[in-house]
Amino acid sequence: MSSANNPQAHSYNFDQVFPASATNRDVYHTVCMPLVEACLRGFNGTLIAYGQTGTGKTTTLSSPDGMIPRALRHLFRRMHRDRYRCTYKVRLSYMQIYQEKIFDLLGDPLDTATPDSPLFSGHDLPLREHPDLGIFVEGLSEHAVRTEAEVHALLARGQQRLVFAETKMNRHSSRSHAICFLTPLFNPDASGASASASAASGDAVVRGRLTLCDLAGSERVKKTNATGTQLSEAKDINLSLLELGNVIQALAEQKKHVPFRNATLTRLLQESLGGNCLTSLIVCVSPTRRDMSETKGTLMFGWRAMRVKTHARINVEIDHEKRANELAEQLALKGMYIFSPIPGSLTHSL
């Protein structure tokens, strides 16, 4: 890649380059399907769409034939196929990061909400860290879903609360980072092909997690003619994406200090970027010469991200509720044996 102002050519290597003729089906089978399969084996998987505003990130992820609808179809078909071997439960959460604050897109509306200011119960939620779960959003609602249609209905409800605005570069520009979490939990049959040896015990539950991130687009403020609220939004977006780039660079260079805490986005994606996760990145670029500078920045981000290593593992947890019920049954039976009068005998317990 070269430009008139900078004739020096730059080359970038990627795992896959999709031409303009590529379909979402092509992208899904190459990029997203392996993450869904891994998630159904108990791994964490993350898909991130990154790029300049107006380059097709939301279309790639959320259009009717995009990554999210295809992932849902794949997920529920697999669950239906394996229904005689595994007992599945699926939970859904949906949130956005707007001006460095976390909002639950599926939270209950507040009495003070108006069409122009859709406040809801899950606003400005804090991030916490758990020794097993990693980084999580405290208070983010989780919704049990049984069908693909239920998920689509919840996502449609949440998308009505996403913050959009018209800018010079994009008539329907997202002003927030939208993140969807799908968490399948299952108890594999001990006689079947379990996710791991430890999961074969009746007390174990295997937990996968699929995180789908539609990041707000980077944009040069001078090109957008933004003022007022839109200018403030653009600055917050660019700052969080800058910090994301700094984290990727630090991880790629294996620096001792990685600035995850500098932005809400990077803190939330800490496990996805450098921890227990399988992560894929789709970088979307513009074909026009006037966007050359932004395209080079996007390609550099993607090239650096390829050098980042994560360490994914299967998530196996003890089903404490099931174990407690089993112990209660055992104690009840034992109590019946100890205290039941038997003719010709004397029972005693301490």
Residues within the annotated binding site? Answer: 51-58
C-alpha 278/C-alpha 31 separation (Å) is 11
With 0-12 CB in 10 A as exposed, 13-18 as middle and 19+ as buried, what is 156?
exposed
Binding region for ATP: 51-58
Instruction: Please choose, from the candidates 213, 209, 332, 322, the residue with its C-alpha nearest in 3D space to the C-alpha of residue 265.
Output: 213
DSSP 242-310: HHHHHHHHHHHTT-S---GGGSHHHHHTHHHHHSS-EEEEEEE---SGGGHHHHHHHHHHHHHHTT---
- Joined together, the tokens standing for residue 184 give 């399948």
Size (the chain), residues: 350
Q: Which residue has 């991880």 as its token pair?
A: 251
Instruction: Please choose, from the candidates 223, 269, 224, 219, the residue with its C-alpha nearest in 3D space to the C-alpha of residue 239.
Output: 219
Pairing, β 278-284 against β 44-51: parallel
The kind and range of the H/E element at 204 are: strand 204-207
C-alpha 7/C-alpha 249 separation (Å) is 25
C-alpha 172/C-alpha 166 separation (Å) is 5
